[in-house]
Structure 1
Amino acid sequence: MQLTSASEMPRMVDSTRKRNGNSESHNTSDSDKNHANRCEMIVATEDLVPGDDNYVLALCGTQHEPEFRLCAAMSDYSCIVYNVNEGLSKLMSLEHNTSPIVGIKFSPSSKNILFAATRDGEITACDLRAKGKVVAEMRDGSVDSKLKPLASFDISSDDKLIAAGTEHIGGDAFILFWDIRYSSPNNSRSDSRKNDLLGGYWESHMDDVTSLAFHSSKIDVLASGSTDGLINVFDLSQSSEDSALNYSLNTESSVDRIGWLENDHLWCTTHTHCLQLWDCEDATPYGKYDRSTIAANFMHEDQDSCYVVRVHKSSSSGDPFLLAGGSTIKGEHLHGLTINSEGMKWCTDFIGNKQLVRDSWYHAKSGCLITGGEGGVINLWKQNEKTLIQQNSEPKPLAKSNGKSSGRDKHRTKPY
């Protein structure tokens, strides 16, 4: 892969394809909601992380079964690793990071290798078999310059390539690339020979690159999202940035997170707590749900209290679902909203949530969902089979917590 700058700024996609609906046609009516089965998810187990002011920034896991691995990136720069079966069993805590963590991910081919990217411009790989020892480091290879601050990263599904998005710096925002196979085997932190940078793109985004997502089956396809409002889709097999940029989708917002659904479909959440669904070949999203619509129509929450977390794909129905919450003085509510050809429907209530959720991770085989957030709590959620909410029933009030909040809660901010 040759990585060079493009000679021209990317063109916006101009597609003549028409979808059967947009943001308004995908809104689900009250009668539709009432006919949807809703299930309850209950806390199977939880762990309170150490430190009064420590909270969960990000989660990642492995899809192994029956026991899988989970990692939580914390606000104090540490990473806590768990083995998960019927409960959460703490394996170790990694303390080597020296700046805020912007992303964590297990190697696609090994549950023993954990990658972490930090704002100071470094990505490290730790071997959990060796008590979390750093076995590889990836940095910007520029000579006589400061490391570019990172804002996001991802790993290709074939476990060969790492991509990292930077903050806007010096008039540019970069997507940097490393080949994992060329990582330095020397474990000395003082060794200047680190993983060499392959190259980068710097013409396609004009602001912080907040999210990167490799396609799960098309190993050369990478999507990027930015606060400049663009979602770009690249074919990394091409010889230059200009030819690699296949699609540029304008969300008309600030992109928070993106992910692949199937084929060439993408989901996107924004910093204004909206959800967009895209086909790469279309000029506009085929599904668009703003914050007020999600709050009023699907969650019975006040708009200012509503926030979105991320999209997951359900193992039972095969449909994607949005995890969204409401943070009010009356409590911390959490809901699952399924998304399919009929639109969005309220499908799941999470009973007993005690915090504003920052991130979530879904184990496909077991159907377990892990959440972590500003209360410093990691929850493992499982379906409550005995208390399925029947069709045509009115929305049920969520069970409230015991009224006791962690001391760290008062230091947290609202999601708006």
Structure 2
Amino acid sequence: MAKIVESLKKLSVENGVSSQLSSFNYKAEFVPTVEERVSLDEQNYVLALCGTQSDDEFKIGAALADHTCVIYSAGEQFRKLMSLEHNQSSVVGIKFSPSSRHIVYIASSDGTVSVCDLRAKGKVIAQFKDNTEDGKLKPLASFDISCDERLVAGGTEHIGGDAFILFWDVRYSNSKVNAKNSLLGGYWESHMDDITSLSFHWNKKDILASGSTDGLINVFDLTQTCEDSALTYSLNTESSVDRIGWLTNENLWCITHTHTIQLWNCEDATPYNKFERSHLCLSPKDDPESYYFVRIHAHSTFGNPYLIAGLSSPKGDDLKCLSLGKNCLEPYYDFSGNKQLVRDSWLHEKSGCLVTGGEAGIINIWRQTESLSVPKNTNNKRPAKTGAEKSRNDKNHRIKPY
């Protein structure tokens, strides 16, 4: 894919400055070094990606539209390890264990989270579900695992007038003989619609953020004894939340279903930064609806957090990497040779390789053609605080939902 144009003008969204990018000048390119088509069925696309961080030759897990998941070993080329076909319904999430490259968690819309052991040909060795007395499983829409792998959380669809966040203790599972019920309980008063995204804090094992189509991002302290006490912050996006994640200790990113990016400090009543699809337009003639946001990666490989965004048009499917500056989006990397509308991306932090998967059923590994001159994080800490992040002096401070 050719560069769009050759010079750069930063995009500022502050104080009414023009929101359009008059041009792009990327500092380098990502080129596809490995490509794999996951299925011969052209309708079988990639829904979600995950991977392992421990190895130079890492593993990739991909959830597909046909309810299956495929596991690859990724090095100089893809090597398919196995296909996991136990799911009978749509996969809503796939994640490798934080502590083992051989264990994969897969959440399905039928209300189950299965744990598969790759050393045993993908055998399901544990399963978490809402096995309460009525026996009716609550359909899941999202899930996540705590950083210490103690808890699994599942967000449900809106059902029976409620939307639930369910919690399971990983130490117990239904596969164990005479096992204790692994369902610890749930929250059901903080959201009024489907819970589309859950994100445990990257190093605080008891802090969980949730996002919903009701427009709220809630932050919970799971050490508290009841839901009302656990709800520490409630942020009103005035939209429908698609994906959320942590930028730093107190900052969150959000992508809405209308493809708006919001950057939040947990203590604030409004986002400190907001970007629309129109901010990616090169001219007034461009159609903002042709642009879409994929995911924000907060790791310090490229200095600032950065956004993967795409353009789907009759001319092709462009993909780009943009740095999230304090008040602007700055072009970082162009992607040369993207062939599809991308649904998800995953970063191998050690090598800086980016993995993408999308609607053409292709998984790509992208490598940088040259290195950027960005500050390296030698202490293995999160990136410097972004935008309006503040120190939290009052630990009992709580923001009202509205």
CA shift, 1:86, in A, is: 2.0
Residues 1:279 and 2:268 aligned together: no
Per-residue deviation, residues 97-153 of structure 1 (Å, max 9, x unmatched): 000000010110001110000000011000001000000000102222421000000
Q: What's the secondary structure of 1:385's corresponding residue? A: coil
Aligned AA (1:55)? Y
CA shift, 1:318, in A, is: 2.3
Residues 1:124 and 2:114 aligned together: yes
Distance (whole Å) between structure 2 residues aligned to residue 355 and residue 177 of structure 1: 36
Report the counterpart of residue 66 of structure 1 in structure 2. 56
CA shift, 1:259, in A, is: 0.3
Residues 1:80 and 2:70 aligned together: yes
Q: 1:202 to 1:95 in 2, by over 3 A?
A: same
Distance (whole Å) between structure 1 residues aligned to residue 15 and residue 136 of structure 2: 49
Residues 1:289 and 2:278 aligned together: no
* Unaligned runs of at least 5 residues, structure 2: 1-11, 373-402
Residues 1:229 and 2:215 aligned together: yes
Distance (whole Å) between structure 1 residues aligned to residue 98 and residue 160 of structure 2: 33
Distance (whole Å) between structure 2 residues aligned to residue 227 and residue 368 of structure 1: 32
CA shift, 1:83, in A, is: 1.1
Report the counterpart of residue 156 of structure 2 in structure 1. 166
CA shift, 1:85, in A, is: 1.8
- TM-score by length of structure 1 reads 0.82
Report the counterpart of residue 248 of structure 2 in structure 1. 262
Aligned AA (2:217)? I
Preserved contact between residue 264 and residue 280 of structure 1 (Cα < 8 Å): yes
CA shift, 1:63, in A, is: 0.8
CA shift, 1:31, in A, is: 8.9
Q: 1:54 to 1:42 in 2, by over 3 A?
A: same
- TM-score by length of structure 2 reads 0.85
Q: 1:48 to 1:183 in 2, by over 3 A?
A: same
Pick 1 or 2: higher relative contact order, CA cutoff 8 A, min separation 6. 1
Distance (whole Å) between structure 2 residues aligned to residue 360 and residue 217 of structure 1: 21
Q: What's the secondary structure of 2:86's corresponding residue? A: coil
The 5-angstrom pairing of residues 131-280 of structure 1 reads 131-186=121-176, 196-280=182-266
Report the counterpart of residue 30 of structure 2 in structure 1. 41
Q: 1:194 to 1:352 in 2, by over 3 A?
A: farther
Residues 1:311 and 2:296 aligned together: yes
Aligned AA (1:252)? E
* Unaligned runs of at least 5 residues, structure 1: 1-21, 389-416
CA shift, 1:206, in A, is: 0.3
Preserved contact between residue 20 and residue 278 of structure 2 (Cα < 8 Å): no
Distance (whole Å) between structure 1 residues aligned to residue 17 and residue 100 of structure 2: 41
Distance (whole Å) between structure 1 residues aligned to residue 16 and residue 295 of structure 2: 19
Report the counterpart of residue 348 of structure 1 in structure 2. 333
Distance (whole Å) between structure 2 residues aligned to residue 236 and residue 311 of structure 1: 25
Aligned AA (1:38)? K
Preserved contact between residue 321 and residue 332 of structure 2 (Cα < 8 Å): yes
One of 287, 312, 317 as aligned partner of 1:302: 287
Q: Percent identity?
A: 59
Between stretches 343-352 and 269-278, larger displacement belongs to: 343-352
Aligned AA (2:82)? M
Q: 1:210 to 1:295 in 2, by over 3 A?
A: farther
